[in-house]
A and B are shown apart, each in its own frame.
Chain A
Amino acid sequence: MKVVAEYLKAVGLFKVYDKDPDLYYSSVLELDLSTVEPCVSGPKRPQDYVKLS
């Protein structure tokens, strides 16, 4: 983590999510993690969501 932080600071890419006034996100997506359930996809297409239980 230290190396990554040092590197990002050195190249000017180190940002703090809610503290940098110059930070601009073109869109913000929210995900309620309590809605995430164990699942698989199939049997023939990645978009065919199947709940595990």
Chain B
Amino acid sequence: MKTDWNACLTNPVGFKGFGLAQERLQDSSKFSFKGEEFNLNHGSVVIAAITSCTNTSNPGVMLAAAILCKNAHERGIKIKPYIKTSLSPGSQAVSRYYELSGLTKYLDAMGFYHVGYGCMTCIGNSGDIHKEVEEAIKEKDICAASVLSGNRNFEGRVHPFTKANFLASPPLVVAFAIAGTVDIDFETEPLAHDG
């Protein structure tokens, strides 16, 4: 992932390229959000969505996502507040088994609130991202990323301001949201440190 991502940044513009010049790799766009200072870099995650029909019909991965939320929450780990997180399963059955297994509160605690049922982010219905984030992306033309458990990720489909859109399983959506970036190797780098 890390190698692939860094290659994509400088590859010529195309399916696997964003055409950035070497000197732009360290771009950083500073912004303040709800009284805190943050930096966006290429690869920063701004949308993380457990969404759409396909992945959310698999209880195994849905429970894994919720259990990751539980474990992270219990260790005091938080997702950066500017990342738009959401949960929109294809079926209400998901909400029912989350409720019955006592996991809804952990998803809520990590910001993965139920926002509805259906396609949502997968088809570009995530809605606006926070104005501050949008401005920070535009200011330095940042290659911001979305991570979603949807089916399609063509440029411009998921969100006009996320140039990179990665399809991932629900637990990986949570993991990338916690990490806050797609520029990470989960094998060798920590997701986060205990809060």
Binding site for B on A (CB under 8 A): 38, 40-46, 48, 50-53
Contacts and interface: CB of A to CB of B under 8 A. Distances in A.
A51 B1 contact: yes
A43 B1 contact: no
Nearest to B163: A43
A42 to B, nearest CB: 4
A53 B153 contact: no
Among A38, A42, A46, max chain B CB count under 10 A is at: A42
Q: Which 6 A-B pairs have the closest CB atoms?
A: A43-B164, A42-B166, A53-B187, A41-B167, A40-B168, A40-B166
Contact of B165 (A44, A52, A53): A44
A46 B166 CA distance: 8
B53 to A, nearest CB: 14
28 contacts: A38-B186, A41-B166, A41-B167, A42-B153, A42-B167, A43-B8, A43-B16, A43-B18, A43-B145, A43-B153, A43-B163, A43-B164, A43-B165, A43-B166, A43-B182, A44-B154, A44-B155, A44-B165, A45-B154, A46-B151, A46-B153, A48-B16, A50-B5, A51-B4, A52-B172, A52-B186, A53-B187, A53-B188
